[in-house]
Structure 1
Amino acid sequence: MKRILNKLFSKLVLGGLIIILQFSWFVYLLYSATVYSSMVDALFKIASIVLALFVSSRDMRSTYKTSWIFLILALPLFGIPAYYLFGRPGLTKRTRMKMDVVSSRIRAYSSPSDDVMSALRAEDDSAGQQAQYLTCYAGYPVYREADTQYYCCGEEMYPQFLEDLKAAKSYIFLEYFIAEPGKMLDAIVEILAQKVKEGVDVRFMYDGIGCIQTLPNKYYCYLQEKGIKCACFQPFRPLMSIIQNNRDHRKITVIDGKVAYTGGMNLADEYINARVRFGYWKDAAIRLTGECVWSFTSMFLELWDYILKIESDYTFYRATSMEKHRLQEKIHADEKGFVQPYTDSPLDHEDVGENVYLNIISRAKKYLYIFTPYLIIGSEMRTALVNAAKSGVDVRLVVPGIPDKKLVYFLTQSNFPYLIKNGVKIYTYTPGFIHAKCFVSDDVQATVGTVNMDYRSLCLHFECGVWMYRTRAVLQVKEDALKTFAESHEVTLEEFQKKSFLVRTFMGALKLFAPLL
């Protein structure tokens, strides 16, 4: 009973109700005005047409553009306020300017190496083009001979993660979308508190919406009492505000500028299968050492400085030339490839995460294996996947067998028929929920990160990942994919056609609301 009451009176539920009331009141006022005044009704219809024309001229994906135009014209009382809340760019011009200042300040410490880029282009010009794109539009250079270790699940990564935290001497930076007290987080906090006593600079950054249901009230005070510095990205406020759209969905840990982790894993027990939620929780993480760790250090500091309105001493964190050489000494003998961390921001209208995926798809020649928890994609991504399959590439996607969000899963399934008809193989992960976000192709390139194949990840959130060319981890991702296919069920067109007409119609209707999910 207590658990039910806690859920009913949680910050998210109460805040959500307040927003719904505001939204409903706004719609009611619009409705009342249109009913009692023919002039207002006419003006409202004109406004819906003008807004639809404006949306049609916006530089956005055609699929989502069509959805918004339909909602605005067919259901203007709902569509216009919904577009105000969810359809517009979520950060104000002032906010963008502030973040641009911080970004330009720290990017000055991440100048690309012409020698590394030239070496990559000499080996594979196509891969060089991908690296060039990321250098120019994500702002982080490509590195050579970084040590990469891929983990196929949370419980495989967790022991090494704890050991790395215990070995910290200078600083520990953690940035996560979700954190929840339990076996995993409590053990981490215990280590962090001990490290603070040893003089280590420990910082923890979390997202205000991602943690709204998982962290107790004033949990940051609990951490600060232990000497752990905290920052919350855009705390939840129960107001009809577009700023709620843009979340910090990244998962980053940096230790002493020597070791970095990223991937799909948050800091909660289900990610290490210490708690069962949707069957077995399959995720992915990658551990990096070498000079490339600086890119993740700067990603963290960029957002940290913006939130706290400070200017960090970047020269302190940037490894010296002597340290760079020492970092490279312990690189694994198999690591002769290239590594390029990247971030994706809603600030610049450049969809880096999606373009990384599209570039890998378009360059695949033999096979393309994909893990994604959600499959809410536009026509561009669908066309790219289908064109690859029609060109003879073995294209396979793995999605959850047990979903975490029913509506989103219906929308994911609505993409199955078209893809399967055109040669794309789709698998559902039978043991449970797959939360990994990975692409691997042709034994040469892969990416592991936080970017889901849905509208919010691709357009609205702060995301990150690492693109790799001929590193040890590329083959580790492939090996994991092959094992996962063996544990999964391949979906057939006949299975989908057995679904009732009402279910298939409902799935089709949901596509109109894709930008909202």
Structure 2
Amino acid sequence: MIEILKDNWFKLIIIANYLLVISAVITILFRNINPTKTLTYIIVLVFFPFLGLLVYYFFGQEYRKSKIFNRKHILNEKIIKDLNKDLSQDKRELQELEDELLEDKIKLVKLLQGNDKSPLTKCNKVEILNNGEVKFQRLFEDLKTAIHHIHLEYYIVKDDNIGTELLNILCKKAKDGVEVRLSVDDVGSDISHKMKQKLKDSGVQLFSFMPVLFPKFTGKMNYRNHRKIAIIDGAIGYLGGINVSDNYVNKPDKKVYWRDTHIRIEGEAVVTLQVQFLTNWEFVSESQVKIIKDYFPNKECKDNVAVQIAASGPDTDWANIMEVMFSAITSANDYIYLTTPYFIPNDEFIMALQIASRSGIDVRLLIPDESDSWIAKHATNSYLERLFDANIKVYRYTKGFIHAKTMVVDDLFSTIGTSNMDYRSFKINFEINAVIYDKQKSEELKSYFIEDLKNAKEMYAEDWLKRSKLNKLKEAYCKLWAPLL
């Protein structure tokens, strides 16, 4: 028997591989996911023995609504229920908002409120922050004035120059008696053991989101926390595309200019941002947070910008951010301007843009000229011909790398946040966006988009079609992996 096993060990391993493959394929078919994604996984499993199973193990398993992401305690707290009830509008109030402010965009408000219990907040002051140097100056000023608590949640935190400056501020505030909570993604972040010990000794509460064994080799692991948010004393909130790293700060000696967008909010929308932080904190710390009113102080109304906070991830029933973007596209009347570093959308998103453009709406997309990911760059390129077919204008940012994730529609609707326009952000990672219904802020974001076009080159269909066959082959190959990116 032993001799037979020795002589046929490879055949037995292959048989075992394909028995597992059959089981995985049956599971995928029963999940009833997107046919393209289903076919991609089946091809990888069947034609790449062993490797296919590894890919499926790390990327293919579906944990949406799983118990590991079931975090309902916070949402059931009486204080939060009362706050959401106070912020929610009845049908009469929504009708007044539609008549006075939102025109035909009221369905976006209802979509988010129904999907994610994200109330429309009407009393907010919003400041758009362009680039890391501006964001960190404002953030550090606010952190230094914190009295009760500081809550930070980031995909990337590094203890380089800017990161060390931020972490030192947190240590000082914690020593002064301020509650400091810091949640970082284990794959994205890189904090030295020495700095972690300093944070601990200072009283900073630090937890990693879903720790992995070898974070440097798992940069595309599924279900990462891609959010970048900060809450100071429950009164000030930050969110957007800018992580904590020197890469995001433009200094005179920096080789690559980094263009990014963040926002600062004072007002009622910070309530929803705080709730999202606390639900994540319960998950990473594996303990229930005692909810007190100091986390949700009464806020003086400094401005009247209407804002909703849209959060999505494996713990939400719907892909909220993608849905609100899709709905905004389909309700556009004049223009749609999008900026994203990664454009790897699903067919529905592409079709919505095509229909909008063919209906006479000015649709423009701004993407990087040079990407930080070879496969993402060519996957993005594989979709451009479909945009050109519908006369959508495509621009490549040439001044440096554009990492902003923004969208503005009709001088009325805009969104700024952490979500890229790709499969991973729409369906897999934890993301968060601010959805803003305000003419002045939309016009401001539009002006920044037009300014960015001065540092971009427009692409033309006739030139694009002349690209080499080698590039077309790269695009075809990378597009096969698009549902997994």
Q: TM-score, normalised by structure 2?
A: 0.89
- Paired residue for 2:136? 158
Please say which of residues 306-315 and 286-295 is displaced more in the overlay: 306-315
- Paired residue for 2:272? 295
Pairing 1:285-324 to 2, within 5 Å after superposition: 285-319=262-296, 323-324=298-299
- Paired residue for 1:199? 177
1:422 paired residue among 371, 390, 402: 390
Cα distance between partner residues in 2 of 1:190 and 1:387: 50
Superposed CA deviations along residues 411-470 of structure 1, whole A, max 9, x for unmatched, are: 111111111121111111011111110000110000000001122211111110110111
Please say which of residues 56-65 and 216-225 is displaced more in the overlay: 56-65
- Paired residue for 2:320? 352
Does residue 64 (structure 1) correspond to residue 37 (structure 2)? The answer is yes
Q: Letter of the 1:96 partner, please give it.
A: F
2:84 paired residue among 93, 110, 116: 110
Alpha carbons of 1:146 and 1:180: their partners in 2 closer, same or farther (altered >3 Å)?
same
2:210 paired residue among 229, 234, 244: 234
Superposed CA deviations along residues 156-184 of structure 1, whole A, max 9, x for unmatched, are: 22322221112212111111110112332
- Paired residue for 2:59? 86
Please say which of residues 189-198 and 164-173 is displaced more in the overlay: 189-198
Alpha carbons of 1:92 and 1:356: their partners in 2 closer, same or farther (altered >3 Å)?
closer
- Paired residue for 1:21? none
Alpha carbons of 1:347 and 1:500: their partners in 2 closer, same or farther (altered >3 Å)?
same
Cα distance between partner residues in 1 of 2:325 and 2:40: 23
Identity between Structure 1 and Structure 2 (%): 29
Does the Cα contact within 8 Å between 2:382 and 2:475 map onto a contact in 1?
yes
Cα distance between partner residues in 1 of 2:233 and 2:89: 26
- Paired residue for 1:138? 116
Cα distance between partner residues in 2 of 1:275 and 1:237: 37
Does the Cα contact within 8 Å between 2:150 and 2:232 map onto a contact in 1?
yes
Superposed CA deviations along residues 313-343 of structure 1, whole A, max 9, x for unmatched, are: 32323535xx23xx21xx14xx3x4110121
Alpha carbons of 1:276 and 1:305: their partners in 2 closer, same or farther (altered >3 Å)?
farther
Alpha carbons of 1:53 and 1:130: their partners in 2 closer, same or farther (altered >3 Å)?
same
- Paired residue for 1:20? none
Alpha carbons of 1:179 and 1:238: their partners in 2 closer, same or farther (altered >3 Å)?
closer
Does the Cα contact within 8 Å between 2:310 and 2:433 map onto a contact in 1?
yes
Cα distance between partner residues in 1 of 2:94 and 2:200: 43
Q: Letter of the 1:253 partner, please give it.
A: A
- SS where residue 296 of structure 2 aligns? coil
1:255 paired residue among 219, 223, 232: 232
Does the Cα contact within 8 Å between 2:116 and 2:316 map onto a contact in 1?
no
Cα distance between partner residues in 2 of 1:125 and 1:268: 40
Superposed CA deviations along residues 355-376 of structure 1, whole A, max 9, x for unmatched, are: 1211111111111011100011
Pairing 1:15-30 to 2, within 5 Å after superposition: none
How many residue pairs were aligned? 472
- Paired residue for 2:464? 496
Alpha carbons of 1:184 and 1:45: their partners in 2 closer, same or farther (altered >3 Å)?
closer
Please say which of residues 45-54 and 124-133 is displaced more in the overlay: 45-54
Alpha carbons of 1:36 and 1:236: their partners in 2 closer, same or farther (altered >3 Å)?
closer
Does residue 265 (structure 1) correspond to residue 246 (structure 2)? The answer is no
- SS where residue 143 of structure 1 aligns? coil
Does residue 460 (structure 1) correspond to residue 434 (structure 2)? The answer is no
Pairing 1:339-488 to 2, within 5 Å after superposition: 339-470=307-438, 472-488=440-456
Does residue 208 (structure 1) correspond to residue 182 (structure 2)? The answer is no
Superposed CA deviations along residues 55-94 of structure 1, whole A, max 9, x for unmatched, are: 3453433432332233334445543442232112146843
Alpha carbons of 1:45 and 1:248: their partners in 2 closer, same or farther (altered >3 Å)?
closer
Does the Cα contact within 8 Å between 1:366 and 1:393 map onto a contact in 2?
yes
Quote how far apart the aligned CAs of 1:405 are. Answer: 1.1
Consecutive unaligned residues in structure 1, runs of 5 or more? 1-28
- Paired residue for 1:219? 195
Quote how far apart the aligned CAs of 1:502 are. Answer: 2.0
Alpha carbons of 1:509 and 1:133: their partners in 2 closer, same or farther (altered >3 Å)?
same
Quote how far apart the aligned CAs of 1:274 are. Answer: 3.4
Does the Cα contact within 8 Å between 2:183 and 2:284 map onto a contact in 1?
no
Quote how far apart the aligned CAs of 1:96 are. Answer: 3.2
Q: Letter of the 1:436 partner, please give it.
A: A
Superposed CA deviations along residues 363-390 of structure 1, whole A, max 9, x for unmatched, are: 1111101110001112111111111111
Does the Cα contact within 8 Å between 2:126 and 2:264 map onto a contact in 1?
yes
Cα distance between partner residues in 2 of 1:492 and 1:507: 18
Alpha carbons of 1:135 and 1:51: their partners in 2 closer, same or farther (altered >3 Å)?
same
Alpha carbons of 1:289 and 1:80: their partners in 2 closer, same or farther (altered >3 Å)?
same
Alpha carbons of 1:225 and 1:429: their partners in 2 closer, same or farther (altered >3 Å)?
same
Alpha carbons of 1:125 and 1:187: their partners in 2 closer, same or farther (altered >3 Å)?
same
Cα distance between partner residues in 1 of 2:76 and 2:153: 21
Pairing 1:23-38 to 2, within 5 Å after superposition: 35-36=11-12
Does the Cα contact within 8 Å between 2:395 and 2:453 map onto a contact in 1?
yes
What is the Cα-based RMSD across aligned positions, in Å?
2.8
Quote how far apart the aligned CAs of 1:247 are. Answer: 0.9
Pairing 1:113-128 to 2, within 5 Å after superposition: 113-115=88-90, 117-123=94-100, 124=102, 126-128=104-106
Q: TM-score, normalised by structure 1?
A: 0.84
- SS where residue 100 of structure 1 aligns? coil
Quote how far apart the aligned CAs of 1:95 are. Answer: 1.2
